[in-house]
Amino acid sequence: MSKRISGVYYDPQHGKCVRTIQMHEGQLCIYGVYGVGEGKSIGEEWTANVFVDAETQKLLTVYFQKDVAQERRVMHALWCPEAREIHWEDGSVWYKLYSVFDISA
């Protein structure tokens, strides 16, 4: 599962940024930066830990790291492998891009 979800994503609603999902020390992680209009310094990095529901292999629980402005935040999402998209509970959608990091091409 993690190899199918691993890759580079485009996030059009939150700063129009690229997000990368990959394994790091046995943990699935998201690496991103803040973009335009997000109230942070553009390019400031953030990370999140991703847990995939073992039964469905599509339901995600994501733990965004605590920073100065907010408490640790938990969000839920749905991985749609056929569409190559992650649908978030806040309505945003991340689109998986084809890249050298796209293990499941």
Q: Model confidence over 45-78: pLDDT tens digits?
A: 999 999 999 999 999 999 987 555 556 689 999 9
Residue 54's alpha-carbon distances to 19, 51, 65, 95, in angstroms, are 23, 9, 23, 23
Please report, for residues 14, 40, 49, 71, 81, the alpha-carbon distance to residue 96 in angstroms, rounded to integers and kept in the order given.
Answer: 15, 24, 18, 28, 9
> Domain limits of the chain?
2-97
pLDDT (tens digit, 9 = 90+) per residue, 22-42? 999 999 999 999 888 888 888
Model confidence, pTM: 0.86
CATH of domain 2-97: 2.40.128
Using DSSP, state whether 73 is helix, strand or coil: strand
CA dist., res. 73 & res. 95, Å (int): 22
| Amino acid at site 72 | R
